Amino acid sequence: MNRYIYVIVLLISLICVSSCQRDDDEPIKALKPISRLYVSTSEYEDNSTTTALSNVFVVTPADSADFKVDPLSTFSSAAKGGRIIHFSPFARSIFQSSMNSSAYQDTSIYVMNVSDKGVISNGNVIGNRRFNNVRGLWYYVHTVAGNTTGVTDNYLLITNLGADTISLFVIDQPKNKRNFTLPKYELRLDYRPWGIQMESSDLLLAKTGNNGGVVVYKDFPSSFGVDTLLNVNPSYELSVSGANNIRGISYSKHKDILALTDYTGNSVGDGRIFIFENFSQYTSSGTIVPTRIITGVNTKLQQPLDVAIDTREGDSDDNLFIYVVDAGPDTKNVLRFKLQDQGNVAPDQILEGLGGKTPRSISLDARGVNRL
């Protein structure tokens, strides 16, 4: 009898430990610099008799002269065509949304575990019919001032261009969610958002359309409360005169540089990378002018959808890069530019190894030794 009681108590203890396990553990400290670029591609084949198409590709090291896909790291998630991809060293996970095409409806967000060696494996799936047109993903760890428990709040932020509502969804504890999931919070927007980034507690959203730019919400988590629908207005909006199709956004606090992607037409050379130096100087609404613009036929930019800047502390500017994914019908490239590039300049590198697949999004894991 005592033996059975012991077994029951042991099982209950294991369940409690599992359910309370943190999904916000500190990132594993790098023993050597990490430079991994994750690429999401949109092709999908619904045929159970053939091998599933890979839709996650990894370039490692992404900052080397050998800018190629690592064939041993390619992965096929369950997404019916990959769209947005986001890697978080805090979650040690990749988050990927689906294209959700008319042929293959899929309104799930797929979570993949990433080991400290960069090995990818399937994790949980977060589903909701309202995640039908995801355009941005960001995993955010919020540490409350004065908290001594060691447990923090963790959120997955999702921008979605729904048919009826345009929203920013906030999922709490995303690595603990399974299948159908209700957002903990929702912020309904009256503009069309795209890329997303949290910098400390500030939310930066890329705003697309004519004279699009960046919408800033200072101390965004302070708006979280009891109500699901958030009632919060932007702290300020920054417009880029002449912008047409703002898509990707990437900000480096270390270098105080912001990058946005945009395009004006459908020809090679119509794509643009806007670069803003000293971005933190902008603290109120207005029009901002790029410090530099990378554009022109030599750039091979057609329809750049996403951007990631690598500005690791301790590295010289000569060793730092801007990565761009371009889904233009004549390009389908992942391009690498030098951080200091401007004008009609050729890419420093063009990715090899995608096999003609269409890249839709990128996410960069760039960490120096013992630092994020």
Quote the longest CA-to-CA distance of the chain: 79
Q: What pLDDT is attached to residue 47? A: 72
User: Whole-angstrom Cα distance, residue 168 to residue 185?
Assistant: 8
User: Whole-angstrom Cα distance, residue 359 to residue 356?
Assistant: 9
Q: What pLDDT is attached to residue 367? A: 84
Torsion region of 67: left, alpha or beta (phi above 0 gives left; psi -120 to 50 gives alpha): beta
Preceding peptide of 61 cis, ω within 30°: yes
pLDDT tens for each residue of 360-372 = 999 999 987 544 4
User: Whole-angstrom Cα distance, residue 157 to residue 183?
Assistant: 10
What type of residue is 17? Answer: V
User: Whole-angstrom Cα distance, residue 206 to residue 136?
Assistant: 9
Find the distance separating the first CA and the last CA of the chain, reported in whole Å.
52
Instruction: Give the whole-number percent of the chain exceeding pLDDT 90.
Output: 78
CATH superfamily of 34-367: TolB, C-terminal domain (2.120.10.30)
pLDDT tens for each residue of 268-292 = 999 999 999 999 999 999 999 999 9
What tokens does 229 get?
């629908």
pLDDT tens for each residue of 18-60 = 444 445 455 555 567 889 999 999 999 887 656 788 999 999 9
Residue by residue, DSSP assigns 185-224 as EEEE-SS-EEEEEEETTEEEEEE-STT-EEEEETTGGGG-
Domain ranges in the chain?
34-367
Residues of the chain with pLDDT under 70: 1-31, 48-50, 144-151, 313-317, 369-372
User: Whole-angstrom Cα distance, residue 307 to residue 309?
Assistant: 7
pLDDT tens for each residue of 159-175 = 999 988 999 999 999 99
Q: What pLDDT is attached to residue 28? A: 57
For residue 307, CA distances in Å to 28, 47, 336, 364, 369 come to 25, 32, 10, 9, 24
Instruction: Give the whole-number percent of the chain exceeding pLDDT 70.
Output: 86
